[in-house]
Structure 1
C-alpha cells in the first residue's frame, strides 16, 4: 500500500479495487493495527490528556510504547478476571485515557460495549442486561459527575455482572503523568446495595500485568471488537456488534481520501467528541494511531467541557493540531471564537459527519479560518463511514456526502409503498441508500430488530440504511432526507419512538408523532404533533411538564407541542411524518423571513424526485437577508 495513495474520483476508486482487498495486507485486528502503528516510532507521543482547558499546557502524555503497554495490560487483566472471547465487558466513562485502555484492551480480550454516560440508570441496566455484560468499567464517585450514582443503580439490576473496575481522575490532577500507575488512594469504599460484586480499581488491576505481549490467543478478524448503541435506548436497545477487521478496514479507508501523510507520524488529531461514539473512537483514535499519529484528548467532556470551545484555536496553535472531527453545531460555535493572530498553519483538514452541513456555515467556516472541511456519511451499522469527499479537490462539492469507499458497494434503491425493493435507481434518482461490504455489521443483537433491514440481491447481502439520497453521474452521493425517523440534535441521535411511547401514557393524548424541527444552532430539535383524546383537554405546559418526568432522555424532550384535529395518515393508516416535516420546514422559513424583514410572496414545500423535500420560495423583498439566514439550515431551498 503506497503511502501516497489519495483517491480523488470514482475512477481512482475503481482502479484501486483492481488489487483485491486481501492483498492489501491490512492488520486483521484492532490490536495488531495499534501495535503496527506504535512500532513506527515507539517514543513519539501518542495520547495527550488534560482535565480542563486551563490545564491544556500541562497534559498527561503517553508515548506509543506506553499506550500500547497500557492497552496490553488491560487486555491481560480482563482475561485474568474471567473475560473470555465470546463474553462482554462494558464501559460507562467520560473521555479519559482509561477509556481507550478499556476499548482496545477490552476488544482484544472479548467484546466491549460502549454506554453513553449521559443516559439514565434504567437505560444503562437495559443495555448491560441485553449484552450479558460480565465486567463493568466505570468512573469512581467524583465531584461534579453523576456517573457512579447511575452506573451503580444500573449494576444492581444486572444479575450476570460479576465485577466492577473503577477509574479515577486523581491520576491526572498534577498533569505530566506524575503517577504512572495511579496515586495512593484509600481502599475502595463503593458497594452495590444488595449485590455481592467485587469492586476494584482498573489501574490497580493492570499495574502488575505483562505490558509487552498478550498472554492469550489474539482474536480473529471476524471476532467481535466493540459493541455500540444506536437509535433509541429504551425498551429493547439496538446494539450493533462490529468485527475487528471491519473496524480496521473502516479506519484505513479515510486515510485514502485525505492521504496517509495527513494522519501519520508528525500529525496531531484533536478529540472533542464522546468516546462512546464511533467517530471519536475511530477518527480520533484508531485511525491516527494505526498510522503512528498523535491524539489530544481535550478534557473528559470534550467539546462540552468548560473553556474547550473558547480555547480551541489556542489548542490548535499550541499542539500543532492537524485535524479534528465535529458536527455542524461545533463548527458554528467555533466561528464565534476569535482566531485572528493565531497560527493555524498546522491544520490540514476538518471532518464533518453525523448531520448535513448547511452551505452558509460551510462557506463561512472555510472563508474565515482557511481550514478545509471534508464531509462524509456513515452510521454505526457500517462501523464508521461509507462515503467521503476527497480532501484534495479543486472543486469541493458542498453538501455532497462524497464517493463510496473502495471495496464497499453503496447504491440507491427504489422501494414501493410497502417498503419492498423494486430496482436500483437511475442517475440522480432519489431513493434509499443500501450498503454492503467488509464494514457492514451482521445484525442487531436483539434478533427481532433485524426484520426488514436486509436485501438479498446480486449475490450480496445489502443493509437498508433508511437514509434517502441520489447518486450523480460522477459517483457522488447527495442526501435528500431520511426515511428512518431519527432526529439529529447537535450530533446526538434521538429516536422519536421513545418520546411517543412516553407521551402516549398521558390520558389526554390519543395519538402522538414526534418529528424534527429545523434549528439553526443545533440542526434539529424534537417537536410533538398530537391529537387529543375524545372529551379531554390539555395545554402545552401540562404536556411539557409530563414530558420532563416521563421522557427518559433530556435531549429528547420536545421543544413544542402542536395539536391537530387529525394527524396526516398514509393509505394504510400510518402517520405520514413527511407531511409534518414539510410543515416544520415551512414554519422555519416563515420565522426566518420575519426575522430578516423579508416579505414572502409564495411558499410551497414539495417532494422532488431527485432532491427530496424542497422549499420553493418567492420573495417580494429582503431576498439577500433571507437567503443568508436560510443558508444556516440543511434543508433544500429554491429562492426566487
Structure 2
C-alpha cells in the first residue's frame, strides 16, 4: 500500500492553476483503486489525530466525544463485518435512516467497503422511503429507535413490514423494538465484531458501485444516482484541490449525510485529506443551539472553514460574534442553491474570510466548480471548473443533440463530462433525458461562461424549485392539485424568498363554472403532497394559463408574476411622499431574469438605499430606473 496521500492544497487563483494540476494524471494524485484503501492510507498518516468529535446533543459547548482515525477504522471494520455476518452480498444495499452521528460515518464507510450504501432523507414520507429502499435493493436497514425518535421509528416500521426480504435491521438506540431474530441494537452488534480487518469480499475495483444517493423530490420515487469508487476517489483530488483541504483543517459537520454535501463535500473528502470533523448535532445546522453558538464553536475547536447552505449563512448574520476569536477561519464555502450576492458580501465582511460559492450535483459526486481561494472574489459566480471535469454551456435540441457550444458570455445549458459523473440512474428510464446523445450530463441549469472561465448561473432549463438547497419537483404539487375535480390546469413555480432562495407557489386555472377558493385548494394539495417542503406557500387562481405555441404551460410568465408580487409587496411602503414604484420582471440576455424597478418622484438618495436594503437578500437581480 502507498504510505502517503498526495497533498492537494496547492495554489488556486485562476484557470491556469487548474490546467497545471491536470498535467499530472488523476491516478498519480490518488494512487488507489477504492475508497476503503485510500481511507486506510489516511489512517496510517493520521492515526492518533481526531477524525471525529461528536458534540453532546443539547449541549454544544460541552465536551465532545473524540474518535481518532485509528479508532474510526476499527469501527468501520466492525460495521463492515456486521453487514457481512448478516449476509450482505455484492450488489445489495444498506439503507440507513439515522441522523448525523458517528454511527452514520461507520455505516457509510463500512457499507461502501463491502456493499452499497444508501442514505435516505428521514423527512420523506414513508412510502417514498420504502420506494427508495426497494429501488436500491436494500437487504439491511439501519433505523432510529423509538426512544430517540418515535416518528423515525414509525417510518422504519412501515418499511420493515413491507420488505420481508430484509436480512437484518439494526437500531440506533434500540430497545424494546429489538426481537433478537431480525431486529438488533446497532451499537451492541457492532461491538461484537472483529475490528482488526474486514473478513470478507470487498468492493476493490474502481468501477464497483459503492453508493446510491437520491436526488431531490420527483414524481414517485426520487431518482437514485450510483456512485462508484472511481467517482469518489476523483473527488478526493478535485475537491481537495478546489477547497484546499489539508490536515490543518477542522470543519463543523452539520449537513445531512443523505446528501452529497454532508457525506462527500464536508465528509469523505476532508477526512481523507486529514481534517477533523466536529459533528454538531443530530439535527445538524437545523439545531438552533448550533447556530446560536456557532462563533464560540469556531473558537473552541479552531474551525477553519465556514461552510453551509445559503439559508444558514443568512441565519448566522443574526448571530453576533461578540468576543469569540474566529481567527482560525481561512475560507467560507457555500452551495446547494443560489446564494444572494448581498448575503455573500455580508457574511464575508462579518467573518473576515471570502465566501466561496461552488456548484455541483448528486450526479457528479460533489462540487465541479468553485470560486478560487487565491483569486478574485466574483460574487454571483460559482467560480471556475475543477480539474478533470469539462464544464460547458451549450445549445441542445429536442433530441438531446448539442447543436453548438455557447460563445463566451452567451447563455446556454450547463453540461458536464468527466470521471466524476455518474454512469446513469438506477431507474434507467430517466437516462435518455439526463445525458446528451454523446454522453454529456445535462444539469438543467442555464448559465454563461466568461472569458476567464468563470461560470455564472442564470436560471434553470428544467423547472426544479430549490428551497434552502432542497430540490422540489413541481410535478408533485401539480399532480396533487390536478386530483381536485375543479382544477383544469395547475402549475407550480419557485417564488423568490429572501431566506430560502425560493419557495413553491402554485397557479390554477379552474374548469368552466367550477367554484373553489385558493385556501380550499391549498388544503386539498397539502393532504396529498408527500413532502412538507413542497407545500405551496401561496396559490393563485387565474382565468387563463399562459401556454406556448404547442400548448405547454409557459412557466417563465408565472415565475415573473410571482416575483413581481413579492417585490411589489416589499416596496409598497415606499409608495408615499410623492414617490411611485412599479416592478416588472423579464428575461435578460446575460443575467437571465431581471427585475426592473421603475421609480417616479420621491427622494432618490433615500429611496435608493431603502430599495437596496429590501431587495439585496434576494438572488433575483434587480435594476432601478429613475424617472422625474
Short-chain TM bin:
over 0.9
Dislocated runs of 4+, deviation >6 Å: none
Q: What pairs with 1:309-388 in structure 2 (closer than 5 Å)?
A: 309-388=291-370
> How far 1:144 sits from its partner (Å)?
4.8
1:568 equivalent in structure 2: 546
1:403 equivalent in structure 2: 384
> How far 1:209 sits from its partner (Å)?
2.0
Deviation larger for 565-574 or 415-424: 415-424
Matching residue within 571, 589, 597 for 1:617: 597
CA offset digits 1:285-329 (Å, max 9, x no partner):
112210111001111001112411111111111111111421111
Q: In the superposition, relative to structure 1, how do residues 257 and 504 fare at CA in structure 2: closer, same or farther (>3 Å)?
A: same
CA offset digits 1:321-350 (Å, max 9, x no partner):
111421111011011011121100111112
> How far 1:369 sits from its partner (Å)?
2.2
> How far 1:122 sits from its partner (Å)?
1.1
CA offset digits 1:497-556 (Å, max 9, x no partner):
111111211111111101001011111111000111222111022112212211111111
Deviation larger for 63-72 or 199-208: 199-208
- Pairing 1:25–2:56 present: no
Aligned 8 A contact 1:52 1:299 in 2: yes
Q: In the superposition, relative to structure 1, how do residues 466 and 548 fare at CA in structure 2: closer, same or farther (>3 Å)?
A: same
Deviation larger for 281-290 or 618-627: 618-627
> How far 1:237 sits from its partner (Å)?
2.8
Q: What pairs with 1:120-269 in structure 2 (closer than 5 Å)?
A: 120-168=125-173, 188-190=176-178, 198-219=182-203, 220-259=205-244, 263-269=245-251
> How far 1:267 sits from its partner (Å)?
2.1
> How far 1:264 sits from its partner (Å)?
2.4
2:526 and 2:594 map into 1 onto residues whose CA distance is 33
Aligned 8 A contact 1:600 1:619 in 2: yes
> How far 1:574 sits from its partner (Å)?
1.1
Matching residue within 38, 50, 73 for 2:43: 38
> How far 1:419 sits from its partner (Å)?
6.2
Q: Secondary structure at the match of 1:332?
A: helix
2:408 equivalent in structure 1: 427
Unaligned runs of 5+ in 2: 1-5
Deviation larger for 322-331 or 425-434: 322-331
Matching residue within 238, 262, 267 for 1:285: 267
Q: Secondary structure at the match of 1:541?
A: helix
2:7 and 2:98 map into 1 onto residues whose CA distance is 37
2:614 equivalent in structure 1: 629
1:171 equivalent in structure 2: none
2:544 and 2:386 map into 1 onto residues whose CA distance is 44
Q: Secondary structure at the match of 1:122?
A: helix
Aligned 8 A contact 1:162 1:197 in 2: no
Q: Secondary structure at the match of 1:555?
A: helix
Q: Secondary structure at the match of 2:291?
A: coil
Matching residue within 9, 13, 17 for 1:8: 13
CA offset digits 1:133-167 (Å, max 9, x no partner):
10001111125541111111122122432211111
Aligned 8 A contact 1:33 1:290 in 2: yes
1:145 and 1:310 map into 2 onto residues whose CA distance is 27
2:51 and 2:488 map into 1 onto residues whose CA distance is 55
> How far 1:450 sits from its partner (Å)?
1.4
2:522 and 2:33 map into 1 onto residues whose CA distance is 50
Q: Secondary structure at the match of 1:48?
A: strand
Matching residue within 456, 460, 472 for 2:450: 472
Q: Secondary structure at the match of 1:451?
A: helix
> How far 1:87 sits from its partner (Å)?
1.1
Aligned 8 A contact 2:60 2:290 in 1: no
- Pairing 1:104–2:116 present: no
> How far 1:251 sits from its partner (Å)?
3.3
1:180 equivalent in structure 2: none
2:436 equivalent in structure 1: 455
Aligned 8 A contact 1:26 1:249 in 2: no
1:539 and 1:519 map into 2 onto residues whose CA distance is 24
Aligned 8 A contact 2:494 2:503 in 1: yes
1:197 and 1:410 map into 2 onto residues whose CA distance is 51
Q: Secondary structure at the match of 2:292?
A: coil
Matching residue within 284, 302, 305 for 1:302: 284
1:177 equivalent in structure 2: none
TM-score, normalised to structure 2, is 0.94
Matching residue within 490, 495, 499 for 1:517: 495
1:478 and 1:595 map into 2 onto residues whose CA distance is 33
> How far 1:372 sits from its partner (Å)?
2.0
Aligned 8 A contact 1:271 1:324 in 2: no
Q: Secondary structure at the match of 2:433?
A: coil
Aligned 8 A contact 2:480 2:529 in 1: yes
Q: Secondary structure at the match of 2:33?
A: coil
CA offset digits 1:212-245 (Å, max 9, x no partner):
2222343111111211111325524311111112
> How far 1:454 sits from its partner (Å)?
1.4
> How far 1:33 sits from its partner (Å)?
2.4
Aligned-residue CA RMSD (Å)? 1.9
Deviation larger for 572-581 or 141-150: 141-150
- Pairing 1:502–2:502 present: no
Q: In the superposition, relative to structure 1, how do residues 363 and 512 fare at CA in structure 2: closer, same or farther (>3 Å)?
A: same
2:534 equivalent in structure 1: 556
Q: Secondary structure at the match of 1:377?
A: strand
> How far 1:38 sits from its partner (Å)?
1.8
Aligned 8 A contact 1:35 1:290 in 2: no
CA offset digits 1:44-90 (Å, max 9, x no partner):
11101124242532212201100111011111211121111211110
2:419 equivalent in structure 1: 438
1:530 and 1:223 map into 2 onto residues whose CA distance is 46
> How far 1:481 sits from its partner (Å)?
0.4
Q: Secondary structure at the match of 1:235?
A: coil
Aligned 8 A contact 1:251 1:283 in 2: no
- Pairing 1:273–2:261 present: no
